[in-house]
């Protein structure tokens, strides 16, 4: 099939769709002036340049539509040259490189990113590295929320992808190098996938590479400023999985070896993107209308679910202890269907409100929806899948609602990839004339915003507030309350609001790492973890999902005493006022931002006994020891951590029954006098070799099956493609 053949039908329809898109873009451009002060806005300093290019593109398209030969495909000589296409690819790569270095100057690569979620992302990678070094993926997190199963921290998956560079080059340098690799893989994987197409046009591939570099630089607003680069890892693994599926269909022997392990690794990197990858695999088979691709996709999906059990087993085994929705505080017991219908209607309505679209890759996608729809219908190259996936993603995002959490919002990050080949096909294949083509390229380049500011870095959390860290390290109590710094509303009361943050980062995880103290605080995702104990945190004047003033003082004091909290470090005005109004709390230190309070009459032990004494020794991810002295057999013993049914205990080889008392892990003393009870939290290391065997067996079986089906044809893989 020639490079020109796929565009014959689209050459008539795409320019008309482009005219509609330019009309939408004019509305978008003229009605979004309220964002003019946002860096990168089309209504900021680049407004006159963008306006000029948009005028030129509009006039050139009008001339294209009224030409006599406007219905005939442009000749090869009229299209973009290989040299120009290569130049655009190089320009995009240079822009992405410069952008990355602007976010992470070389001098910062041996330090820790310290902006918004970056400390969370870094510490999660460190924690995952420690898990992997022990041959497991999950364990017990002692430091936050009173203790919880780390499998409910879905944000830790990035550590699976950063493990190797962090192991080889050190924690901080390896963490930055891992992000270099992730950004580099986005255009490389798009290039590899498009190159597999028998109808490939090398000019489209090069322009797509340049465009995806530009849209990847646009992740600066979506991911770099927030630190949510676990989503970037998900994007990379989804592209790799789709490239593997495409390669397998084209007869490449390495295809299934990228498809099945790639999909499985997607589950480890980001469970949400595993779900998206499964949907896109099915869509890929439908667009190709290939039964074998569909069967191969189903086998890969089932294998991915089984092979990811070392990470997800506990969520399947104990579903009551995993709440996937971290947007709402309490999971809804019933659905308000009328309210849900209104929410979905509003999502659809946004498609018709260009004044609400910002100039990022999502806005560019919405502007070019008419073009993408025509390309998905008319094109016969691999670009067709990207256009169809773009439309599918936009449709998926219409389902976003609080009942589903972020499930239908995260796919938006895939649009940065899916839009690039559509833009490339548009300017290379479907429009003619240098003026129109290059003005469109200029419009796209100027439309996409890029944030050019460096991400702040620190050597340790002591750079944030050394005195605070020292006082937390020396504070008394089984747990120390540290008020969280939320960036989302954690007040679920009608009309409730969380007090505005005074800090631009989530430092809590680094405080626990630095001091070794257990904190009455949330470590990941503002304390809104995917478990039942996410309310055990004070954040911006909120507590248990509502404003702290709504909590009776006696109830709050009882909660502090339940966890042995005698020292509280708070920063919000709401929390300060609440504690000052209770005579049981006394202020003992303040630096003008943070205030330390002491609560009297608190049993600060980590292990409670009614007779004798107990202490917690060597708590780690998969267990701890409870050292009992002077106890009487049958004496109630409470370990100040949340009860989870996966825990087990034994003394001298004999099992000790565990139970929940006041929500905490408890048992009856199994001895008179002194003994050591060993607590064990399952590492489930046996699941790892099982997962590996399943992965290798299924992938090998698919590869052998594909090879046998290819033998009778007597043709090469390339001929068959």
Contact 208, 421 (CB under 8 A): yes
Cα 348 from Cα 338, distance rounded (Å) = 15
pLDDT surpasses 90 at 10: no
Contact 124, 156 (CB under 8 A): yes
State the chain's mean pLDDT as an integer.
Answer: 90
pLDDT at 3: 43
pLDDT surpasses 80 at 715: no
Place of tokens 């921290």: 153
| Residue 718: CB atoms within 10 Å | 10
Cα 324 to Cα 180, 272, 301, 403, 529, distances in angstroms = 30, 10, 20, 10, 9
User: With bands split at pLDDT 50, 70 and 90, how would you rate the model's confidence at 229?
Assistant: very high
User: With bands split at pLDDT 50, 70 and 90, how would you rate the model's confidence at 706?
Assistant: confident
- Which of 530, 579, 571, 525 is closest to 553 using CA atoms? 579
Range from 50-64, 233-247, 316-330 carrying the lowest mean pLDDT? 316-330
Structural tokens at position 279: 């949907």
| Residue 226: CB atoms within 10 Å | 16
| pLDDT average, residue stretch 299-311 | 95
Burial (CB count <10 Å: 0-12, 13-18, 19+), residue 508: buried
Range from 25-39, 360-374, 379-393 carrying the lowest mean pLDDT? 25-39
Range from 50-54, 296-300, 377-381 carrying the lowest mean pLDDT? 377-381
What CATH code is assigned to 607-680? 2.60.40
pLDDT surpasses 90 at 490: no
Cα 131 from Cα 125, distance rounded (Å) = 10
Map out the domains of the chain as residue ranges: 5-447, 460-599, 607-680
Structural tokens at position 186: 């986005």
pLDDT surpasses 70 at 70: no
pLDDT at 34: 83
pLDDT at 689: 92
| pLDDT average, residue stretch 630-639 | 93
Burial (CB count <10 Å: 0-12, 13-18, 19+), residue 482: buried
pLDDT surpasses 70 at 74: no
**Coil, helix or strand for 482?**
strand
Q: Three-class SS string for 664-687?
A: EEEEECCCCEEEEEEEECCCCCCH
Annotate 599-636 with DSSP letters as a single string: ESS----SEEESSSEEEEEEEETTEEEEEEEEE-TT-E
pLDDT at 529: 77
pLDDT surpasses 50 at 163: yes
pLDDT surpasses 70 at 9: no
Which residues 6+ apart lie within 8 Å of 247 measured at CB?
A: 196, 254, 255, 258, 259
| pLDDT average, residue stretch 528-532 | 80
Cα 204 to Cα 7, 211, 420, 703, distances in angstroms = 12, 10, 10, 30
Q: Three-class SS string for 241-272?
A: HHHHHHHHHCCCCCHHHHHHHHHHHHHHHCHH
Cα 502 from Cα 570, distance rounded (Å) = 12
Q: What is the largest CA-CA distance in the chain?
A: 100
pLDDT at 496: 83
Q: Could you tell me the pTM of the whole model?
A: 0.92
Q: What percent of the chain has pLDDT over 90?
A: 76
Rounded to the nearest 10 degrees, how much is the dihedral formed by the CA atoms of 352, 354, 356, 362? Answer: 100
Chain centroid to Cα 603, Å, comes to 40
Contact 233, 270 (CB under 8 A): yes
pLDDT surpasses 70 at 109: yes
**Coil, helix or strand for 379?**
coil
pLDDT surpasses 80 at 11: no
Cα 462 to Cα 468, 479, 482, distances in angstroms = 8, 20, 15
**Coil, helix or strand for 642?**
strand
pLDDT at 713: 45
pLDDT tens, residue by residue, 642-680? 999 999 999 988 999 999 999 999 999 999 999 999 999
| pLDDT average, residue stretch 544-559 | 94
| pLDDT average, residue stretch 466-478 | 94
Cα-Cα end-to-end distance for the chain? 10
pLDDT at 68: 45
Range from 332-341, 524-533, 613-622 carrying the lowest mean pLDDT? 524-533
C-alpha count within 13 angstroms, C-beta hemisphere, residue 393: 30
Contact 548, 541 (CB under 8 A): yes
- Which of 475, 556, 552 is closest to 519 using CA atoms? 475
pLDDT at 692: 93
pLDDT surpasses 60 at 590: yes
| Residue 250: CB atoms within 10 Å | 17
User: With bands split at pLDDT 50, 70 and 90, how would you rate the model's confidence at 531?
Assistant: confident
Cα 247 from Cα 241, distance rounded (Å) = 10
> What is the enclosing helix (H) or strand (E) of 133?
helix 118-133
């Amino acid at each position: 099939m020639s490079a020109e053949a796929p565009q014959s039908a689209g050459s008539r329809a795409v320019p008309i769709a482009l005219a509609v898109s330019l009309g939408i873009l004019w509305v978008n451009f003229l009605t979004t002036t309220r964002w003019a002060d946002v860096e990168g806005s089309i209504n900021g300093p680049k407004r006159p340049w963008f306006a000029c290019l948009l005028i030129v593109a509009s006039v050139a398209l009008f001339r294209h539509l009224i030409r006599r030969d406007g219905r005939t495909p442009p000749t090869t000589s009229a299209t973009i040259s290989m040299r120009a296409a290569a130049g655009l690819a190089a320009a995009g790569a240079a822009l992405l490189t410069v952008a990355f270095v602007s976010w992470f100057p070389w001098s910062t690569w041996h330090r820790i990113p310290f902006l918004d979620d970056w400390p969370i992302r870094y510490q999660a990678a460190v924690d995952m590295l420690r898990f992997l070094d022990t041959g497991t993926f999950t364990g017990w997190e002692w430091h936050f929320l009173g203790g919880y199963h780390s499998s409910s921290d879905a944000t830790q998956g990035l550590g699976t992808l950063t493990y190797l560079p962090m192991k080889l080059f050190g924690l901080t340098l390896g963490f930055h190098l891992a992000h270099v690799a992730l950004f580099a893989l986005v255009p490389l994987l798009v290039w590899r996938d498009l190159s597999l197409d028998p109808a490939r046009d090398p000019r489209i591939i090069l322009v797509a590479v340049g465009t995806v570099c530009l849209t990847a630089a646009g992740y600066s607003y979506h991911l770099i400023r927030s630190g949510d680069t676990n989503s970037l890892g998900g994007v990379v693994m989804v592209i790799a999985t789709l490239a593997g599926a495409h390669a397998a269909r084209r007869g490449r022997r390495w295809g299934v070896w990228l498809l099945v392990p790639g999909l499985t690794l997607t589950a480890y990197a980001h469970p949400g993107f595993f779900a998206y990858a499964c949907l896109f695999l099915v869509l890929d088979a439908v667009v190709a209308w290939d039964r074998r691709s569909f069967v191969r996709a189903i086998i890969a999906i089932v294998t991915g679910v089984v092979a990811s059990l070392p990470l997800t087993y506990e969520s399947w085994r104990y579903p009551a202890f995993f709440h996937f929705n971290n947007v709402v505080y309490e999971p809804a017991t019933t659905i308000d269907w009328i309210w849900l219908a209104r929410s979905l209607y509003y999502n659809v309505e946004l498609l018709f409100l260009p004044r609400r679209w910002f100039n990022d890759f999502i806005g560019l996608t919405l502007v070019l929806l008419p073009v993408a729809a025509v390309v998905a219908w008319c094109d016969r190259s691999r670009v067709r899948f990207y256009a169809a996936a773009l439309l599918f993603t936009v449709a998926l995002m219409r389902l976003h609602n609080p009942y589903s959490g972020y499930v239908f919002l995260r796919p938006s990050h895939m649009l940065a990839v899916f839009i690039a080949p559509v833009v490339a096909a548009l300017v290379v294949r479907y429009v003619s004339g240098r003026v129109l083509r290059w003005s469109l390229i200029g419009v796209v380049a100027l439309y996409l915003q890029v944030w050019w500011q460096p991400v702040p870095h620190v050597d340790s959390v002591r750079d944030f507030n050394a005195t605070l860290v020292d006082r937390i390290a020396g504070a008394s109590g089984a747990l120390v309350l540290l008020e969280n710094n939320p960036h989302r509303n954690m007040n679920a009361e009608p009309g409730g609001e969380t007090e505005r943050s005074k800090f631009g980062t989530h430092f809590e995880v680094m405080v626990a790492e630095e001091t070794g103290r257990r904190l009455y605080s949330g470590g990941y995702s503002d304390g809104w973890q995917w478990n039942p104990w996410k309310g055990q945190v004070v954040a911006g004047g909120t507590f248990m999902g509502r404003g702290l003033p709504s909590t009776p003082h006696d109830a709050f004091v009882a909660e502090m005493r339940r966890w042995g909290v005698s020292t509280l470090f708070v920063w919000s005005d709401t929390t300060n006022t609440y504690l000052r109004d209770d005579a049981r709390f006394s202020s003992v230190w303040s630096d003008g931002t943070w205030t330390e309070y002491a609560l009297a009459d608190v049993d600060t032990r980590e292990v409670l006994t009614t007779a004798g004494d107990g202490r917690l020794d060597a708590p780690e991810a998969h267990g701890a020891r409870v050292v009992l002295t002077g106890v009487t057999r049958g004496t109630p013993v409470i370990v100040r951590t949340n009860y989870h049914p996966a825990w087990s205990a034994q003394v001298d080889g004999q099992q000790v029954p565990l139970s929940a008392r006041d929500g905490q892990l408890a048992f009856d003393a199994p001895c008179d006098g002194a003994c050591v009870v060993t607590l064990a939290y399952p590492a489930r290391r046996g699941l790892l070799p099982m997962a590996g065997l399943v992965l290798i067996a299924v992938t090998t079986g698919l590869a052998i099956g594909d090879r046998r089906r290819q033998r009778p044809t007597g043709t090469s893989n390339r001929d068959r493609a």
